[in-house]
Chain A
Amino acid sequence: MAPQGSMRLAAFDEMLPEVSGLRKPYSAYDRWLKEQDPARLTEKMQDAERVFRKTGITFAVYGEQEASERLIPFDIVPRIISGNEWRRLTQGIEQRVQALNAFLDDIYHRQEILRAGRVPKELIAKNEAFLPEMIGVRPPAGVYTHIIGVDIVRISENEFYVLEDNARTPSGVSYMLENRETMMQLFPELFQQIKVRPVENYPQLLRQSLAAVRPQSTKGAPTIAVLTPGSFNSAYFEHAFLADQMGVQLVEGQDLRVVDGHVAMRTTEGYKQIDVLYRRVDDSFLDPLTFRPDSALGVPGIMDVYRAGNITIANAPGTGIADDKAIYSYMPEIVEFYTGRKAMLGNIPTWRCSEPDSLKYVLEHIDELVIKEVHGSGGYGMLVGPAATKKECEEFSKKLAAKPSNYIAQPTLALSTCPILTDKGLAPRHVDLRPYVLVSDRIQIVPGGLTRVALKEGSLVVNSSQGGGTKDTWVLDD
C-alpha cells in the first residue's frame, strides 16, 4: 500500500469539484439555491434548530459536566446521490452484509475460514468480541446481524471505501428520518421540484424485518419490543422514536423477566410474552447470569431462552466479532471467502499494529496516519496524525508501543466534501455516509442514510460526540 503524505490533500467536492464543475446530481438543487435569498436561508437554519429542540431530539455527551442534552447540529444543504451511484453502492453493501452473516455463522460453528488459514486463529480466540457462549447457537432464521450501518467514505468520483461495518447496534437512523422530516417542513417546494426517494417507511420495514425472523415456535403475529438501557442513555431518543414509529413497546431490563421459558414484560395486566427483542443494550449487559453479573440493564436468564430458540435477539449476541477493527482489515478476504467474488466495495488500507513491521512503520509515520483503538467507537481514543500536535503524537506513540495489539492505523484519506451553509455562504466540509441495512429472509437498504459532516473547517472527524453534524441524504429517483 502506498503511504500517504501528511500534506492537506485536495478533497473531492461532491457538489462542485474544482476540475469538472457542478456535478449532475446537484444541478436541480443548484438552480433552486441560486434563486434563494441568503437571509431567508439563514432564517431556515434557525427554524431547523427550533424544530429539533422543541421535539427534544437531543443526545447526551458522555464525560461532559451536567451530562446535558445537546442537539446534533443540522445543516440544511442536502447531500445528493444519483440513482446510478446508489445502485452501485447497494450492490457492494449487499455483498458485504451477506459475507458478514456468513462469517458469523461460520465463526460460531465450523470455523472453516480459520481452518483455511484466511483469518488467523488467535485473532478470534483472543478477541473479547468473540462470545464462546454463542458457539453452536443458530439464531432464528439463521440471521446474526439484522440491522447494520455500514460507514462509507468517498475519495473521488468512483472511489468508495467502507470505513467501518457497524454490525452490533448501529445508531443514528432516527436522525436520518428526522432530517428528512425537517427538510420537508422547511422546503416543501424543493421536494416537488426534485424527485427524492423516500426513507420514511424505514420503521415499517424494520418491523416487518424483525417479524420475519421470529422464533419458529411463535404462534400468530409476534410480539416485538425495543430494549433500551433507559432514558439517561445518549441514544434514548432514538430508542423511543423507533418503538413509537413501529408501534411496539419500549422496555427496560427492569420490565422483563423469564416466565415459563419465555421472556416476558410486566404490564398492568401481568406478564406478557415477547418473541422478538430489538435490543439497544450491549452484549455484556444483556444477561447478568451469563455476562456481567452487575448489570441491571439486562434480563437474568435471557441467554437460556435464546439458546432454547424461544426468542429472537436482534442483533444476535456476539456479532461484534464481525465489526471489530482488527477483523476489519481481513474483510476483503472474508467477502471473497463467502461470496466467491472479489469485494465490490473496497477497504481502507490498514496497518495492524500487532504485526512488528506494521508497528514500526506506524510509529515512524504517526504524524501522517489515523490511529484507532481496535475496540473503540464514537471517535473516542483516536489520533488524527496530521491534525495532532507534536506532543500529542509523542504521547500517543507511547500508548501505542505499550499495547500495539490494541491499535490499527490507516492513511489520512481526503474524504470527499459537501458544502454546508455558513455565515459566509457555502463552504466545503468533509462527510461520510451511513446507509442502514435490514437483514431477514432478504436484504433491504433504505435509499438514503445518515450523512455526518465535520463542521470544523479541515476536520476529518465527523462523529457527533466530537463536534460533527448531520445532513439530509437524498438518493435521486433518476
Chain B
Amino acid sequence: MLLGRTANGLYWMNRYIERAENMARLVDAGLRMALTRTQNASEEWNSVLLSAGSDASFTQKYSDYTAANVADYLLRDTSNPSSTMSSIETARNNARMVRTALTRETWESINEAWMSLKRMLAKPIDERDLPNALDAIKRETALIRGSFYGTMLRNEIFDFSQLGTYVERADNTARILDVKYYVLLPSISWVGSTLDNYQWESILRSVSAHRSYRWVYDADYKPSNIADYLILNVRMPRSLTFCYRFLTEHLKFLGDDYGERHACHATAAKTQAMLTAGSIKDIFDAGLHEFLANFIRDNTRLGDEIAQDYRFY
C-alpha cells in the first residue's frame, strides 16, 4: 500500500534528479560549442536555454548570452526552478517527504549530493572550473542512480520513481531535438558542412551519445541517423523509444498489481505504438517538428494522467 502523496513525491523526486543532471549535460554541450566555434556562440547558448525551457525567464534577468551567465542561470540560480541547484533541492525535499519509502543508501546518496552540490554551487563557478563542476554534478546523480538501482525493491515504489525518471527524460530529449530540428532536416547536399557537423555533434553531446553513436552507425554524422538514434533506437538509454519502453513496462506492473487500468495506460500505449511502428523516414515525411511537438504534448498529458489516476493530490 502506498500513499498517493508518497507516489507523487517519488515521481517528482526522480524527475528533479533527472533534471539536475540534464542541466549539466546541456551546459556541457553549449560549452563545447562555444569552445570550438568563436562565431555565433550566443546563438548556441540561446539554443541551450530553449532546450532547458528557461529562455524566457533568462532574458528577464540577463541581456547577454554568455557562458558565464547561462551556466550560472542553469546550474546555480535558485530563482530558476529548473537549475541544477533548485532541482537537487526539490529532489531532496521530496526525498525527505517520502523518506520511509527509500532505502537508507538511496536517501543518503541524495542527501550527500545535496550537501556537496550546495557547497560547490554556493559561489559563482570560475570558467576554468566549469568542466570539473559539470563532472561533479553528473557524478553525484550517478551515485544516486547507483544506490537506487542497487538497493531498491522492485515494487510500486520503484515503478512510480521510474515513471518520473522516464517522463522527464523523454521530455528533455524531445526538447533538445525540437530546438535543433532544422539542422536535422535533409538538405540538398548530403554531406553536411563543417557547421552542421558541429551542430550534430552538439545534439549528441547534450544526451551524452556522441561516442556511442559511432558504435551503432557509420562514423560520419548523418542527420537521419542522429534522429533515428535519439527517437527510435530502443537500446539508446535516452531515446524516446527507450523511455516509452520502460514507461509502458512500469505502468503495466502497476496495472497488474492493482488489477486496474487507467487513462494513462492508454496514452502510454498509443505513444509506444507510434514509436515502434514508425520509421525515421515516415517521421521526416510527416514533419519532424510536428512529430516532436505532438510527442511533447502527449508526454505532458501522460504525466498529468498518472497524477490523476494514482491520486497524487
Contact = CB atoms under 8 A, between A and B. Distances in A.
A306 B260 CA distance: 33
Given A267-B311, A268-B156, A53 B115 contact: yes
Nearest to B94: A231
Given A244-B99, A269-B258, A255 B3 contact: yes
Chain B at the A interface: SS class: helix
Interface stretch (A246-254, A326-334, A394-402, A457-465): A246-254
A262 B104 CA distance: 33
Contact of B100 (A240, A254, A268): A240
A272 interface: yes
Contacts of A267: 1-4, 311
A117 interface: no
Contact of A231 (B96, B108, B254): B96
Interface string A414-430: 00000000000000000
B5 interface: yes
A269 B5 CA distance: 12
Interface string A38-67: 000000000000000111100000000000
Given A56-B107, A244-B100, A270 B112 contact: no
B111 A268 contact: no
A289 B100 CA distance: 30
B108 A54 contact: yes
A268 B250 CA distance: 14
B50 to A, nearest CB: 34
A243 B258 contact: no
B1 A56 contact: no
B225 interface: no
A249 B157 CA distance: 13
B310 interface: yes
B153 to A, nearest CB: 13
A53 B108 CA distance: 9
A56 B3 contact: no
Contacts of A55: 104, 107-108, 111
Interface string A230-249: 11000010001001100001
Given A53-B115, A55-B104, A251 B3 contact: yes
Interface string B76-113: 00000000000000000100110110001001100110
Interface in A371-387: none
A267 B258 CA distance: 11
B3 A54 contact: no
Nearest to B100: A244
Given A55-B108, A231-B93, A266-B311, A243 B5 contact: no
Given A55-B108, A255-B4, A268 B115 contact: no
Contacts of B174: none
B7 interface: yes
A49 to B, nearest CB: 13
B96 A56 contact: yes
Contacts of B99: 240, 244, 250
Nearest to B92: A56
A268 B4 contact: yes
Interface in B1-23: 1-5, 7
Contacts of A53: 115
A439 interface: no
Nearest to B112: A54
Interface string B97-135: 101100010011001100100000000000000000000
A181 B100 CA distance: 18
A265 interface: yes
Contacts of A270: 311
Contacts of B3: 249, 251, 255, 265-268
A240 B156 CA distance: 19
Given A56-B111, A268-B311, A249 B1 contact: yes
Contacts of A243: 100
B42 to A, nearest CB: 36
B2 A250 contact: no
Contacts of A230: 97
Given A231-B97, A267-B2, A268-B160, 10 more contacts: A53-B115, A55-B104, A55-B108, A244-B100, A249-B3, A250-B99, A267-B311, A268-B2, A268-B258, A269-B258
Interface of B: 1-5, 7, 93, 96-97, 99-100, 104, 107-108, 111-112, 115, 156, 160, 254, 258, 260, 310-311
8 contacts: A55-B104, A55-B111, A56-B107, A250-B99, A252-B5, A268-B4, A268-B7, A268-B160
